[in-house]
Amino acid sequence: MSTADTPGEGDKTPAPSRTRMGFFAAAAVLVVAADLATKVAVVATIKPDDRPIKLFGGAVYLVQARNSGAAFSVGTGATVMLTAISLVVAFVILRAARRLTSTPWAVALGLVLGGAIGNLIDRFFRAPSVGKGHVVDWISLFASDGHVWPIFNLADSSIVVGGAIAVLLSVRGVDFNGGRNPMEADDETQDSKISDA
């Protein structure tokens, strides 16, 4: 092991492995690529005033909608603020990734980062202007106009899935290092002592 790979004295936190960083990067890149490709295809083939494409007996509709808000059309009047928040979230995730030694956390954060970047691309490169661009949404569930469930895209889905995985990992006490949270471990030890008694 090289000196660069060796944790500092007294530091018991394992160094992030290339494999886990690979999972993190791969998840983010795949989400961005898939989100960008689907949005380009939707803009090229489905016009905003076109008849929605009905799939699975009406369970899913493909449409083109422009969203000035966050995921699932939340906060439509605060586009610039949402752009700034997305940039901060991406920055925080990239900093946190340097401490990652847990594969599930790597995937979760990669999904959230990829989703944030996917929508940020729209914010910066789509009309009406840089930082105020409207995000392309194209998946509508159970209705063609989004009145049952807000119209969304793959980036939104990725953020939700990544967030759900992160919540599950937190609830189970799995930390960034892939181990159990010390408080969780203490609780399990106490439970074990009680059961032994």
**pLDDT tens-digit series, residues 28-44:** 999 999 999 999 999 99
Q: Which pLDDT band holds residue 2 (cuts at 50, 70, 90)?
A: very low
Report if residue 163 sits inside a domain.
yes
> Phi and psi for 75 in degrees, rounded to 5?
70, 50
> Please, are residues 71 and 152 in contact by the beta-carbon 8 Å criterion?
yes
Query: Residue 163, SS3?
Result: helix
Could you tell me the residue range of the domain that residue 177 belongs to?
A: 16-187
Residues 9-28 have a mean pLDDT of 75
- Let me know if 122 is a catalytic residue: no
- pTM (2 decimals)? 0.78
Count of H-run helices and E-run strands, the chain: 5, 3
In a domain, 65, yes or no: yes
Does residue 108 lie within any of the structural domains?
yes
Across 21-35, b (16+ Cβ under 10 Å) vs e yields: bebbbebbeebbebb
Q: How many domains does the chain have?
A: 1
In the block, tokens 């392309």 appear at 136
Residue with tokens 């847990």: 102
Judge whether 8 lies within some domain.
Answer: no
Looking at residue 103, its pLDDT comes to 92
CA atoms within 13 A on the CB side of 177: 9
Per-residue pLDDT, averaged over 167-175, amounts to: 92
CA distances from 108 to 83, 133, 165 (A): 21, 26, 6
Residue 100 located in a structural domain: yes
| Catalytic residue, candidates 5, 35, 156, 191 | 156
- Examine residue 41 and state whether it is found in any structural domain, yes or no: yes
- Is residue 194 one of the residues assigned to a domain? no
Q: Which of 11, 49, 50, 137 is catalytic?
A: 137
156 in active site: yes
Residue 36 lies in a domain: yes
Please list, in sequence order, all residues whose beta carbon lies within 8 angstroms of the beta carbon of residue 186, skipping any fewer than 6 positions away.
Answer: none
Q: For the residues 90-103, what does the mean pLDDT come to?
A: 89
